[in-house]
Amino acid sequence: MNSFVLSPEAEEDIFEIWSYLANEVNVEFADQIDSNLFDAFAHLSRNPGLGHRRQDLTSIPVLFYRAFPYQYMIIYRPRTPLEIVALLHAKRNVKKTLKNRETR
């Protein structure tokens, strides 16, 4: 059984990714990526602990998992239910983005 929740920031990240891809490529491609990302969330919920810590990027106790073959980093808390904290493109300033979210 898939057991995960999305933080409000993660929901916003997903919407921004979908909107960008829909505008830059097309809606079908955006839908496909969206579906693949949700499959990755489900995979993580069945296999919590995948990924690695990045204490150089954040002091928040989260794991980072790359959503292959895409350059998106799924940042999550391995708890029940699994909490998707953020979904960020690897070319973004992940450290700065997470720091801004810590202070909210």
- pLDDT at site 14: 97
Which residues of the chain register pLDDT less than 70?
Answer: 1-2, 103-104
pTM for the model stands at 0.88
- pLDDT at site 43: 95
- pLDDT at site 5: 96
- pLDDT at site 18: 97
What's the CA gap between 32 and 21, in Å, rounded? 10
What's the CA gap between 72 and 37, in Å, rounded? 9
Tokens 């693949």, residue?
36
For residues 76 and 84, the answer to whether their CB atoms sit within 8 Å is yes
Residue type, 103: T
Which ranges of 1-104 does DSSP label H, i.e. alpha helix? 8-24, 27-46, 94-102
- pLDDT at site 98: 84
The CATH H-level (homologous superfamily) assignment of domain 4-102 is: RelE-like (3.30.2310.20)
